Amino acid sequence: MSDNPIKIILDKLINNEISAEEAEKILMNNLNESIGSATIDHARSIYKEFPEVIFAEGKNIEDITEIAKKILNISPKVLITRLSDEKAGILIKEFTTKIKYNNKGRIALISNSDQKLVDADLLVISAGTTDIPVAEEAIFTIESHGYQIKKLYDVGVAGISRILNNIDLIQESKIIIVVAGMEGALASVVSGLSSCPVISVPTSIGYGSSYDGLAALLGMLNSCSPGIGVVNIDNGFGAGYLACSIIRTFTHPQ
């Protein structure tokens, strides 16, 4: 299925899946569709090359389900972040074989078709085991965009040899996402070992003086190693999305 919402609407009209009035209403509203609790932005895939993403935290399951169905009427897939196991269970019953759910990353993809993953030399590294849920959110986001991912887990600076043992993999990668809590030092170390962009994700893991990830955030922002970008605390989704945007830029230049 095409990712272009205008072509999808026209195809549905030709195949009598929607009426001319329904197609006109969506197109006249600049591809926005209001359902009361939300306004669906069907144009998102034109500007971002990916359909609108649902942030599930704070939303009830009825609204999540309705929003997902509306997006899937026009787009081939929808990504849902910050899902609880309870809400995910209901979505799995509703969408059955169409849905994939990662309980560690609390993230799901509902898709009308299977997508073959392309190797783009992306690497996700977690400093500790407790950072893995945020890393999994980044990985799932990348895979939902159609890219394969390599990963290294629990290789933080407390045992520096663990990261040094993987220098070849680090230097072969085109983009690296580093997920780290505590003081966030791993991002600087990885950036110092690689010439590629490093996207750093501070996590809220750490003792009292880590201030729920603020120490890691500030440590990454203050890194003396060039080539580092930093997303918000625990924002694995944002890091994964950014990595895919960068990859698309140099694999499919304008």
pLDDT digits (tens, 9 = 90+) for 3-57: 677 777 777 778 888 788 777 777 756 677 778 888 888 878 877 888 889 999 9
| pTM listed for this prediction | 0.86
Please state the domain extents for the chain: 5-111, 122-251
Radius of gyration of the chain (CA): 20
Q: Tell me the CB-side half-sphere exposure of residue 254, using CA atoms within 13 A.
A: 4
* pLDDT over 60 at 135, yes or no: yes
80-112 residue pLDDT tens: 999 999 999 999 999 988 999 999 999 999 998
Do 32 and 40 form a contact (C-beta atoms < 8 A)? yes
Q: What is the pLDDT of residue 28?
A: 59
Cα–Cα distance measured from residue 36 to residue 41, given in angstroms and rounded to the nearest whole number: 13
Give me the pLDDT at residue 200, please.
98
Under DSSP, the state recorded for 24 is H
Q: Are 51 and 109 in contact (CB under 8 A)?
A: no
Q: What are phi and psi of 10, to 5 degrees?
A: -65, -40
**DSSP bridge pairs for 79:** 109
CB atoms within 10 A of CB 2: 12
Structure tokens at 159: 């045992």
Residue 215 CA to chain centroid, in angstroms?
A: 24
Fold of 122-251: Rossmann fold (3.40.50)
Name the least confident of 21-25, 33-37, 65-69, 222-226.
21-25
